[in-house]
Each structure stands twice: as C-alpha cells, then as structure tokens.
C-alpha cells in the first residue's frame, strides 16, 4: 500500500539517537509540535546536518497507522542561525528550546509561542547580550502560556503597597503587610514590571539590572510552576565557571 506523504515546517528543538541507530527529532512550528524518526542509514538530502538543533526545515514525511512518530523522507533547510552554535551562545538557545518544549507537553502550541521562540533565536544570533535576551523571552513565553507572575500588586491580597519579596509558590510579589517570599532587589522588581508590561524590544532597550539575580528567580519559578530545566542548570554552571 502506497504511503501518503505530507509536508510540514518546523524548528528542530530536540534530537537524540535510539539504541537501534534511528534518530528522533522534535520540531516545533506555527501549527504545533511534532516528533519524527529518521531511519538508520537514511541520507536526508545527503546531509543529516540539516536536522541540527535550531535549524528551520521543511520536511516530507509519512505516518504508519501503528506509529505516532512521523517517518522523515526528505528535508529542506530553510535557514540556519550560525551564531547559535557558538559555545557562548548555544546554552542560552538551549534554555529557550527546552522551555518551549516543556510548555507544550500537553497542549496545542499557539502561534504567539512559536513567534516569540523564533524571535528569541534570531535575537541570540544577532544581539550582544544573550543573558538579557534569554531572560526577557523566557518570561514572555511563560506569560503567553498563561503562567505570568503577578508583579504589579500583591499576589496574596492585591495591595499595591509592594514589599521587595517574591513568593514563588503563589507566583508573584507580596505587599508590606503580607511580607512573604524570597527577598528581591528594587531593580529586579522594576525589571519584572517592565518585562510584563512593555514590548520585548522596549524591555531589551531598557536592559536588565542583574542577570544573575534574574536567573536565580527564573530557575525557582520554573522548577515550581513548570519543571527544572537541565539546560538552565548547565547554563548556571557555565556562567559561574
């Protein structure tokens, strides 16, 4: 029986090899996230490098009724962002890719999440401050997924008389009366309010006061509300080295 071929586009966000030698890739596109298998010994366009991480590809594939994975037969490389392979940039791109992967485990990806992810990769490829780009886009991705922290009023009582504390479990800052959560700096609070109320470009132009403090808060927030990101732990080790 002839296979019915389909064509789809996506950015490679995960790739690993099975014991059989087959390669599994996870791609994310405007209409969703999907996985595909590359059979051992198959040469896709003569170059398996087309399926490297963060490559934008168009793939031809088919699905077997008994297999949830698509079987890739041809791949066309639409574009690559060469600077993402730089050892000083790659870990930041990996954080954003893993975050998008986790945010779309059980839900249909929305166009906005894909749009922000693509924009973040382009930013990392061209801008000089990968830490700020990663932090700002990570919070924006969380906001788009409905996991935005509350940073303009107390997460407990709604008061606007804010203290410099952030309750990770409740997901936001607290006021002077409620006074609970981890201490944060005044600059961090101002950064968070800017990130969640302005455009990405305005937030990037404004800059961040202390990326290390941001990463500590972001790491705790993700661990509680999403999951611990292995790539974020690796990034922290790289930055502290």
Q: Are 216 and 228 part of one and the same domain? A: yes
Residues 164 and 233 in one domain: yes
Supply the CATH number for residue 228's domain: 1.20.1440.120
In a shared domain, residues 122 and 136: yes
Last residue of a domain, one of 54, 80, 106: 80
Q: Same structural domain for residues 190 and 236? A: yes
Q: How many CB atoms lie within 10 A of CB 211?
A: 18
Vertex 226, ends 222 and 230: CA angle to 5°? Answer: 65
Q: Highest mean pLDDT: which of 1-10, 45-54, 178-187?
A: 178-187
CATH code for position 34: 2.40.50.140
Read off the pLDDT of residues 53-90 as tens digits, 9 standing for 90 and up: 999 999 998 887 667 788 888 889 998 899 999 999 99
Q: Is 7 exposed, middle or buried (0-12, 13-18, 19+ CB in 10 A)?
A: exposed
DSSP structure string for 203-226: HHHH--S-HHHHHHHHHHHHHHHT
> Do 74 and 146 belong to one domain?
no
On whether residue 1 sits in a domain, the answer given is: no
Same domain, 103 and 128: yes
Count of domains forming the chain: 2
* CB-CB neighbours of 147 under 10 Å: 15
Same domain, 94 and 74: no
Same domain? For 94 and 180 the reply is yes
Q: How many CB atoms lie within 10 A of CB 97?
A: 24
Q: Is residue 188 part of a domain?
A: yes
Q: What tens digit of pLDDT does each residue of 183-197 get?
A: 999 999 999 999 999
Same domain, 14 and 101: no
Q: Which long-range contacts (CB under 8 A, 24 or more apart) does 193-201 make?
A: 193/151, 193/152, 195/135, 195/136, 195/139, 195/140, 196/139, 196/143, 196/148, 196/149, 196/151, 196/152, 197/152, 200/116, 200/119, 200/136, 200/137, 200/140
What are 92-123's pLDDT values in tens digits?
999 999 999 999 876 555 678 999 999 999 99
In a domain, 25, yes or no: yes
The domain of 55 spans 6-80
Task: Tell me the two tokens of residue 180.
Answer: 């609970």
């Amino acid at each position: 029986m002839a296979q019915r071929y389909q064509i789809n586009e996506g950015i490679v966000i995960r790739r690993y090899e099975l014991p059989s030698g087959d390669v599994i890739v996870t791609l994310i596109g405007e209409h969703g996230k999907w996985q595909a298998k590359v059979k051992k010994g198959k040469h896709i366009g003569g170059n398996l490098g087309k399926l490297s991480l963060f490559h934008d590809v168009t793939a031809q594939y088919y699905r077997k009724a008994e297999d949830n994975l698509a079987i890739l037969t041809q791949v066309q490389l639409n574009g690559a962002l060469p600077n993402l392979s730089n050892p000083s940039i790659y870990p930041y791109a990996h954080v954003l890719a893993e975050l998008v992967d986790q945010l779309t485990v059980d839900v249909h990806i929305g166009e906005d999440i894909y749009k922000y992810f693509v924009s973040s990769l382009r930013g990392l490829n061209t801008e000089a401050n990968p830490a700020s780009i990663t932090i700002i886009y990570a919070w924006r991705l969380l906001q788009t997924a409905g996991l935005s922290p509350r940073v303009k009023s107390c997460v407990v009582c709604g008061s606007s008389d804010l203290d410099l504390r952030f309750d990770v479990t409740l997901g936001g800052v607290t006021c002077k009366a409620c006074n609970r959560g981890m201490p944060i700096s005044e600059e961090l609070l101002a950064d968070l309010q800017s990130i969640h109320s302005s455009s990405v470009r305005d937030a990037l132009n404004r800059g961040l006061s202390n990326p290390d403090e941001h990463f500590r808060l972001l790491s705790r927030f993700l661990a509680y509300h999403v999951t611990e990101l292995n790539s974020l732990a690796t990034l922290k080790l790289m930055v502290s080295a």
